[in-house]
Structure 1
Amino acid sequence: MREFIEMMRRKGAVEDIREPCSSVFDAPRRSKENDTILFFHDVDGHRAVMNLMADRSALAAALGVEERDLVPHLAKATYSGRVVNAGPLQGGKPADLSRLPIMKHFPGDAGRYITAGIVFSREGEIENGSIHRMMVIDDTRVAARLVEGRHTHTMLKTALARGERLPVAVTIGTHPLVTFASCTRVPVGKELAYAAELLGGEITVRECRNGILVPDAEIVLEGYIGTERAAEGPFVDITGTYDPVRQEPVIEFTAMYLKADPIYHGILPAGNEHKLLMGAPYEPKIYRAVGEVTTVRDVLLTKGGAGYLHAVVQIRKNTQGDAKNAIMAAFAAHTSLKHVVVVDEDIDIYDPVDVEFAIATRVRGDTDLMVITGVRGSSLDPTRLADGTNVKIGLDATMVMGKEDEFVRAGWE
């Protein structure tokens, strides 16, 4: 992570904040103001970074590709990087969360939350890595939101059914491509292999005392999840609204490992870094799915759609029904999608004005609107019904084939 920050500093994309800041509201408020990487030299006496990947240009820089080539590049993933075990992790001390500048982001939050912690867990020979928000209970315990049916939750159920606790290790302050990999739906147990692939082919890991493998990180928290549960929330999620209070599993930390003068990484809930990490990993998945039904050019999950609920898909039509097939493929690839707009190659999907122009000039409500009712939607969408279902809308904002001359846009090129 330090190498990435220095690379971005050379690009003029890092703002150093040297005056003292509070971890309660102050640092989070500053990160809301822009997408620049903010390097805090004094958050309650500690170093911290926010907005590490709040902009697509940062993800492109980490991967070494052009920003407009991001999705096609990521869509080629094979999850085949090499994971090298370099032996035991050294230097552990008793866990003490009070030594970290864990932030309280909004006045209505239930407390301080770890928002950029990757939870690595192991069940048999399979190791999983994923981000879960963690509400601090005391100096050694957090309540972690484990979504039912997701891998960490499933692994915990399996361990508890055997009468055992689930061993975990939480890393804070990893290379952003490791964080991105942990946010991506990959084949079972391939998060580290995918991170290795993104990093150029290889990643070095070390083994915690509880057997969990972790990549290089500023902070590692080692512990276990057992049967204890605690109220978690309220917490501001991706839409900027409060997620409800739930009874969630408790992680008890037994040890911590810190680099010298560690850099704490915080992600602002509903900020642009949160949106990018939630949505961008789904773009290559949608890209591949749409590529099965027509010629796909690009995919974007928009900031206005909370980085998660709205997609714009750019295609080259081969038959008149391709746009509607693309809509269905997008919904199948990312079941939390709510609205999808499909546009032609001449529309700039990164320009919301251009996308709106396509809707204004190429959509007929009686023929180009798809409304799908009674389908599973996002649990984060405030309009969902009690049973989790919602309504999805697809817009075919493409030109009618054979009538392209009627849609020619005036210009000088």
Structure 2
Amino acid sequence: MSVTKTKVRDFRSAVERLKEISGQYIETDEPVDPHAELSGVYRHIGAGGTVMRPTQTGPAMMFNHVKGHEDARVMIGLLASRERVGYLLDTPPERLGFLLNEAVNHAIDPVTIPNEKAKAQEVVHYADEPGFDIRKLIPAPTNTEEDAGPYITMGMCYASDAETGESDVTIHRLCLQSKDEMSMYFVPGARHLDVFRKKAEAEGKPLPISISIGVDPAIEIGACFEPPTTPLGFNELTIAGGIRKEPVELTPCVTIDEKAIANAEYVIEGELIPNKRVREDQNTDTGMAMPEFPGYQGIAVQELPVIKVKAVTHRKNPIMQTVIGPSEEHVNMAGIPTEASILQMVEKAMPGKLLNVYAHSAGGGKYMAVLQFKKSQPSDEGRQKQAAMLAFSAFSELKHVYIVDEDVDPFDSNDVLWAMTTRFQGDVDTSFIPGVRCHPLDPSQTPEYSATIPAKGISTKTIFDCTVPFHLKDKFKRAAFKEVDPARFAPSLFD
């Protein structure tokens, strides 16, 4: 890890940190259209993930001149590299799952600061003012020309249960529908905010909600934890506090009875309106939403809950943060918390056996995990599959688990495929678990794909055991090379 000076505690300090590290940040003064062009550019620069090739993992990118939004800039790709996430969270990239696991176990509650100290409220726009239009205030891009509209893809959505006072923060796809309305997509049965929303709606009441954009990356990563690691009532902002070892600062909203992240670049204040729904693509009629993490264009939903916007606040000269839906950025935000959850559950059951986990890029950080497992004695044989079963329990949306030995790098796809080629027999080492609920955005999980699938979202979870049987370990030793210091011979490659 490079030596850096800037302490990361908000979005702007994160950008400054990247500027200190060669190859991690670029910016352009070339005018860019937020409608499809901006994402089209970054697709080539650094999107990676499940984006259609050609793409690559590259630097974060700042667009200084966004057409139609002369007073704002747009940043994309802040977290689109695991190495970059490591720099921003002060942890080697292969240890990030362990960092988050530790943060969950040492969570720190957020604190509230007064409005006058909140940088996110340096400028305030009220929805009842003449000319108010969130589409003009917020430079939200579209990923493709088919998108249902401009999307906020990195909004930290914060709301509370009116009965219990419990609060939660999650990330949702938010489409700008009009000058003061947004649609909000909830994955069925998977988000705590949806529980709060339904509870308020049953009572005929709106649910106050704030959307903070451009925050400390520790908040963005921590917000992506899911049950059972963070059950209903667990505020994921406490995880960011655990990562930074200091509390996240919130501030009261100016128009609703809710709080927002005090140092955000933008905050949208609004209410989820009870019993009001909108067609996601009502402004385009494309039938599409936006590209989702599996790499396919999302299908527009016919009826989505509506947020009525009450105000937009922001810092002076704000920076809009966005992501490409299927990019490596999603892999890191979803995948690293997944790794932490799997590490936590397996460690409790069989301490010391699971050495590491990688929520692989090919699965968007959700569908595919590689488990590095160590067998130390004959009785460990078979426990590797138990670990895989626990991984499915730790993260219900997981579809495929690959298990490798301690001499295989789980973060190196070539090494994993080598293990699968030389340590795997399909009829012996594959385990199928059919008829299990997975994630609804996988297009292969439909009755149309296979008559064995009873309903959309049902999948066959699969374990690929690419480990050597314990009694044969001495026959599968990799060629051993002499340990040397290569920096003596090629110092420029090891600075």
* TM-score normalized with structure 1 length: 0.96
Q: Pick from 5, 11, 20: which aligns with 2:31?
A: 20
1:336: how far off? 1.2
Q: Which residue of 1 aligns with 2:425?
A: 364
Residue 392 (1) aligns with residue 461 (2): yes
Q: Give yes or no for contact 2:440–2:456 (8 Å, CA) kept in 1.
A: no
Q: Which residue number corresponds to residue 296 of structure 2?
A: 241
Worse-matched range after superposition: 143-152 or 258-267: 143-152
Structure 2 unaligned segments of length 5 or more: list them.
Answer: 1-10, 47-57, 128-132, 281-287, 447-454, 483-495
Q: Secondary structure at the match of 1:196?
A: helix
Distance in 1, Cα, partners of 2:178 & 2:479: 63
Is the CA contact (8 Å cut-off) linking 2:291 and 2:324 kept in structure 1? no
The question of 1:100 aligning with 2:111 is answered no
Mapped to 2, the partners of 1:342 and 1:49 lie a distance apart of 37
Percent pairwise identity: 28
Q: Do the aligned residues in 1 keep the contact of 2:100 with 2:239 (CA within 8 Å)?
A: no
Quote the residue 2:354 is aligned against: 296
Q: Which residue of 1 aligns with 2:284?
A: none
1:331-381 superposed Cα distances (whole Å, 9 cap, x missing partner): 111111111101111001111111011111111223211011111111111
Q: Which of 138, 147, 150 lines up with 1:112 in the alignment? A: 150
Counterpart mapping for 1:302-317 below 5 A: 302-317=360-375
- Which residue does 1:32 correspond to in 2? 43
Q: Which moved more, 1:8-17 or 1:80-89?
A: 80-89
Matched residue of 1:43: which SS? Answer: coil
Aligned-residue CA RMSD in angstroms? 1.5
Moved over 3 A (4+): 88-91
CA separation in 2, counterparts of 1:200 and 1:63? 11
Deviation at 1:387, TM superposition (A): 3.9
Distance in 1 between residues matched to 2:167 and 2:305, nearest whole Å: 19
2:170 aligned residue: 130
Q: Distance in 2 between matches of 1:358 and 1:333?
A: 25
Counterpart-to-counterpart distance in 1, 2:33 and 2:297: 23
Q: Secondary structure at the match of 2:403?
A: strand
TM-score under structure 2 normalisation?
Answer: 0.81
Structure 1 residue aligned with 2:105: 78
CA contact (8 A) 1:326 1:342 kept: no
Partner of 1:204: 249
Structure 2 counterpart of 1:163, from 192, 197, 204:
204
Aligned to 1:320: 381
Give 1:78's aligned amino acid: N
**For the Cα contact (< 8 Å) 1:148–1:154, is it kept in 2?**
no
Tell me the amino acid that sits aligned with residue 305 of structure 1. Answer: G
The residue aligned with 1:69 is: 95
Name the stretch that deviates more: 85-94 or 102-111. 85-94
CA distance in 1, matches of 2:244, 2:179: 34
Q: How far, CA to CA, are the matches of 1:289 and 1:355 in structure 2?
A: 23
Are the counterparts in 2 of residues 79 and 190 from structure 1 also a CA contact under 8 Å? no
1:48-67 CA-to-partner distances (Å, cap 9, x unmatched) read 10001001112211221112
Corresponding position of 1:250: 306
Partner of 2:50: none
Q: Kindly tell me: are residues 189 and 408 of structure 1, through their superposed partners in 2, closer, same or farther at Cα, counting changes over 3 Å?
A: closer
Aligned match for 2:323, one of 267, 272, 275: 267
1:221 match: 268
Decide whether the 8 Å contact of 2:342 with 2:395 is kept in 1.
yes
Q: Which letter does structure 1 place at the counterpart of 2:244?
A: L
In the alignment, is the contact (CA less than 8 A) between 1:310 and 1:337 conserved in 2? yes
1:306 CA displacement: 2.4
Aligned length: 413
Worse-matched range after superposition: 326-335 or 67-76: 67-76
* Residue of structure 1 equivalent to 2:332: 276
Q: 1:183 aligns with which of 216, 224, 237?
A: 224
Question: Contact (CA 8 Å) 1:293, 1:325: kept in 2 or not?
Answer: no
Aligned to 2:187: 147
Looking at structure 1, the residues matched to 432 and 166 of structure 2 have their Cα atoms a distance apart, in angstroms, of 40
Distance 1:189 1:72, change over 3 A: closer
Secondary structure in structure 2 of the residue aligned to 1:65? coil
User: Is the contact between residue 176 and residue 183 of structure 2 (CA under 8 Å) also seen in structure 1?
Assistant: yes
